[in-house]
Structures are given as C-alpha cells and as structure tokens.
Chain A
Amino acid sequence: NAGVTQTPKFQVLKTGQSMTLQCAQDMNHNSMYWYRQDPGMGLRLIYYSASEGTTDKGEVPNGYNVSRLNKREFSLRLESAAPSQTSVYFCATSTGLVSNQPQHFGDGTRLSIL
C-alpha cells in the first residue's frame, strides 16, 4: 500500500525553466493538497482540491498552477521557476475537506532552483 506517492524526489532547475510535480494516491481520498516547507516557516498551503474537478488557492499560490487530473492524481506546475521557489514540496490527502480528518503526506519533492 503506497499511500501518497510524489515524483520526482529531487530536482534541480535553472531560473525560468518549467516543471510539473506529480502526486498520486491510492487511499481513495477525495481531497488533495500541495504544501511547501521552508526553513523556520513550517508548511504552507499552496493549492488544494476539495474533490475531483475542483481546485482552490491556499496561502501562497503565486507562481504555481495545479491540475486535479482524476481522483487519484493532483499535479503542481511551476511555469517559470524562480530561486524563491526553492523548497521541499509535500502533497497530502484526506477523506474530505472536514476539520477532524487528518491529512496523509507523501515523502516530498526537494526542488532547487539556481
């Protein structure tokens, strides 16, 4: 049971390049999320998808786009990467967009932009 799978695990980009981070889940969860983690700042929500076919902005959406391809997959795209987007990106899922449902996280994508 893989849970939440993120690909790739590591990536180095040059400023201005584009990149899509992939997330797939086999938990049959309805809701999916993308976070970034920066030193000293905890995790911040970039975008989320309450259910298949819907996406909404989180706390720090600028510079990113997302696609909820189907129930299993939720991708995050950087159209023109900037050094400020160097971070560790985590995908998470939950049964639904309800308060008492914990989120389950993938192991992250470590992205460096030069």
Chain B
Amino acid sequence: DQQVKQNSPSLSVQEGRISILNCDYTNSMFDYFLWYKKYPAEGPTFLISISSIKDKNEDGRFTVFLNKSAKHLSLHIVPSQPGDSAVYFCAANLQGGKLIFGQGTELSVKP
C-alpha cells in the first residue's frame, strides 16, 4: 500500500518555463513533507520542506504547496534550468525522522 505516490514517472519542460511536480499521500498523520533531488550515481540531496501546518514554503526558484484537504503537494520550479534535470522524490515524515518516499519523477529541462 503506497502511502506516498508520484503518479508521473517523467516530465519534460522547456528551459525558462515552470516545472510542476506532484505528489499525493493517503495518511493524514504525516507531519512534515520534503522534496529531494537525485542525480544519476549520487545520493538524494535535500531540496525543500514544508510543515503540515503550512500551505506554502519558498526558497529561491523552488516553492512547495501543500493542500491538506486534498492530501496533495506540489513542487514548482521557476524558471526551470537544464541543471534542474534530475529525479525528484517527494517524502513524508510519519514518526520522528522516519520517511516514506514516493516513486520519483524524472524531470528533463530542455534548452
């Protein structure tokens, strides 16, 4: 039973445009959500997070939106750059620091 789902395995966007990556979850007990970025042959790196008591968090070109009623969060990247091409994982925190990860979405930003 997948508690965190990223239903789009891949996304292709033109450089300079907005990238929107989506994530759905089923467990209302999740208290923190995080996005990680992963390049090939490297480990995931932390990108941005949001508490379940907030609905938006911004960090430079990256914004995460949380819609608790819909159990949905999204990551917006504006403007997208070729260096943003990577796999993005959504993760949800259930108890303390234990994370449940989504399957990942591979973003390709074309020049």
Binding site for B on A (CB under 8 A): 4, 31, 33, 35, 40-45, 48, 50, 58-59, 90, 92, 94, 96-108
Q: B28 an interface residue at 8 Å Cβ cutoff? A: no
Please report whether the interface of chain B is mostly helix, strand, loop or mixed according to DSSP.
strand
Q: B111 an interface residue at 8 Å Cβ cutoff? A: no
CB contact under 8 A between A42 and B43, given known A96-B97, A99-B93, A101-B97: no
Interfacial chain A residues near B51, Cβ < 8 Å: 100
Interfacial chain B residues near A101, Cβ < 8 Å: 97
* CB atoms of B89 and A42 under 8 A apart: yes
Interfacial chain A residues near B100, Cβ < 8 Å: 59
Of the residues A31, A35, A43, contact of B97 by C-beta under 8 Å: A31
Interfacial chain B residues near A100, Cβ < 8 Å: 32, 49, 51
Other A-B pairs, 19, CB within 8 Å; known A41-B103, A42-B101, A97-B96:
A42-B6, A43-B44, A43-B89, A43-B91, A45-B99, A58-B98, A94-B97, A99-B31, A99-B96, A102-B34, A102-B49, A103-B97, A105-B36, A105-B45, A106-B43, A107-B41, A107-B42, A107-B43, A108-B43
Interface residue tally of chain B, by bracket? 20 to 34
CB contact under 8 A between A99 and B32, given known A42-B89, A45-B98, A50-B96: yes
Of the residues B31, B32, B49, B103, contact of A42 by C-beta under 8 Å: B103
What residue in chain B is nearest A41 (Cβ atoms)?
B103
What residue in chain B is nearest A58 (Cβ atoms)?
B98
